[in-house]
Amino acid sequence: MASNGTTYYEPSKDTYGTRAIHQPLDIVIVGGSLGGLCTALALKSLPQRHRITILERNPTPLLHNQGAGIVAGGDTLKFFKRYDRCNRDFAVSSQRRQYLNKDGEIVHKEDMVQNMTSWDLVYYMLRANVDYVESAYCKVPSRQPDEAEVQHLHDHKVTALEEYHDKLVVKYTTKDDKEGEMEADLVIGADGPSSSIRSLLQSDVERTYAGYVALRGTVREDEVSPKTLEAFKDRFTFFHAQGIQILAYLIPGENGTLEPGQRLINFVYYTNFPSKSLDQPSGELAELMTDVEGVRHRITMPPGKTDPKAWEKQRVIASERLPPQFAEIVRATKKPFVQAVTDVISPTNEFFNGRVILLGDALAGFRPHTVASTSQAAFDAMILADYLRGNIDRKEWRKQTMGYARTIQKRGVDMGERSQHQELPLEEHIHDRNLASRPREQEVWPDWAIGDVW
């Protein structure tokens, strides 16, 4: 890419961005959920004061509360320690892992400190830091005089990506069919496992159904029986049986409150729904994914939309198959939602000689067993900022991001296949869970994951 003398970085001959960038770039981030916001916040901190634009396809200025809990892994905590200026606690601490049998008795326990938070609290804290959106979740920090400006544009669906001289041209449409385009030096695809950017660049990479779903929901901790609260308070609790697994933990409550009694018990309940595909669902899967208004959803049934008749079937099954503590919270949740478990991974994370980058779920959609999707987004954002700052070179950036994506994506597939489709002793499930919780810094990426990095 040639420089015009004032604005654009002149890369070395092998790829864009192999050394520190000293001039401000026009950066377009596609996707305004957690991955895109993490990236915007990390790049906003760089001294070059890049011009950053977020394009979010959702038609409303704010994304809706996903009702989901998040295990805040080491990279998530590191990201917030490095960049957050809201200055509030955002996680509930769990002190122990434990496993129950069908009767609700503890059959294994081990001390392990982990931190749990909620999607909505993380989202609003990121919006407060990135573009100063006010909410009940946190105080908006003051603007810093030397920071980059971030423009957040909702209702912008990316439809094409082209090269034009030394620029990239991002084309988009809005819900009223208006078309537009903008130029960029760097485009970052952070638009999730169904990434538009990835589909434009690699149309043969598909998001495929894994054969089971995650039923999810929350219940306020003061709305359950004492015995049930005891199972989940300060605990990360699991149950495994043939074809099912369920876990639960405490997360912040309404508006991110950490006040005891007002926090939420969050559960994730995996159960098999065999089907040829998401586009040709079995009758049972189609029934589960058809909402109260008769609209069938392909991958995610939003909170509050589940057909009560379809959910009542799951409530009955929960009573029959789960320990009483888990059955109680599944039956008590008022706004359940459903996520079909899927697999997707891109063969590479850079295109157009490094001027287009994929990160987070757009690069590799992890199965939720890995509890690593948010950590991947946080890590990818931090190491990209280090790369553009010149702290690491291109090879190290590629090695770490692709090693992470490939290794953890495969680990999630293996965990899911073992837990949902094999009959294993409890010790095997415990091993898989502990492996998934190993800090990234302790990982050694296998040769097959990084052998093509150059």
The pLDDT assigned to 14 comes to 41
Does residue 299 form part of some domain?
A: yes
Does residue 41 form part of some domain?
A: yes
Residues 355 and 248 reside in one and the same domain = no
Pairing of strands 264-272, 244-251: antiparallel
Residues 51 and 146 reside in one and the same domain = yes
The pLDDT assigned to 1 comes to 32
Residues 189 and 248 reside in one and the same domain = no
Residues 389 and 415 reside in one and the same domain = yes
Q: Do the Cβ atoms of 168 and 162 come closer than 8 Å?
A: yes
Residues 240 and 363 reside in one and the same domain = no
Cβ-based neighbour number of residue 126 at 10 Å: 24
Does residue 448 form part of some domain?
A: no
Does residue 245 form part of some domain?
A: yes
- The answer to pTM > 0.85 is yes
Q: Do the Cβ atoms of 189 and 31 come closer than 8 Å?
A: yes
Q: What is the pLDDT along the chain (454 residues), one digit of tens a residue?
A: 322 222 222 333 344 444 467 799 999 999 999 999 999 999 999 999 999 999 999 999 999 877 799 999 999 999 999 999 999 999 999 999 999 999 999 999 999 999 999 999 999 999 999 999 999 999 999 999 889 999 999 999 999 999 998 899 999 999 898 999 999 999 999 999 999 999 999 999 999 999 999 999 999 999 999 999 999 999 999 999 999 999 999 999 999 999 999 999 999 999 999 999 999 999 999 999 999 999 999 999 999 899 999 999 999 999 999 999 999 999 999 999 999 999 999 999 999 999 999 999 999 999 999 999 999 999 999 999 999 999 999 999 999 999 999 999 999 999 999 999 999 999 999 999 999 999 999 999 999 999 999 8
Residues 223 and 315 reside in one and the same domain = yes
The pLDDT assigned to 369 comes to 95
Please, where are the H alpha helices in 176-282? 196-201, 226-232
Does residue 431 form part of some domain?
A: no
Sheet holding 356-358, edge to edge: 150-153, 51-55, 26-30, 186-189, 356-358, 350-351
Residues 193 and 60 reside in one and the same domain = yes
Domain holding 373: CATH number?
A: 3.50.50.60
The pLDDT assigned to 4 comes to 28
The pLDDT assigned to 145 comes to 87
Half-sphere exposure of 339 (CA within 13 A, CB side): 18
The pLDDT assigned to 198 comes to 98
Does residue 10 form part of some domain?
A: no
Does residue 440 form part of some domain?
A: no
Residues 221 and 281 reside in one and the same domain = yes
- Structural domain ending residue among the three candidates 318, 342, 366: 342
Report the domain count for the chain: 2
- Which range of residues forms the domain containing residue 338? 92-116+210-342
Residues 143 and 198 reside in one and the same domain = yes
The pLDDT assigned to 20 comes to 64
Structure tokens at 270: 């995996």
Round to whole Å and give the CA distance between 55 and 52.
10
Q: What is the DSSP letter of 96?
A: E
Does residue 13 form part of some domain?
A: no
Please, where are the H alpha helices in 167-253? 196-201, 226-232
Round to whole Å and give the CA distance between 414 and 436.
11
Helix 394-421 and helix 373-389, axial crossing angle in degrees, nearest 10: 170
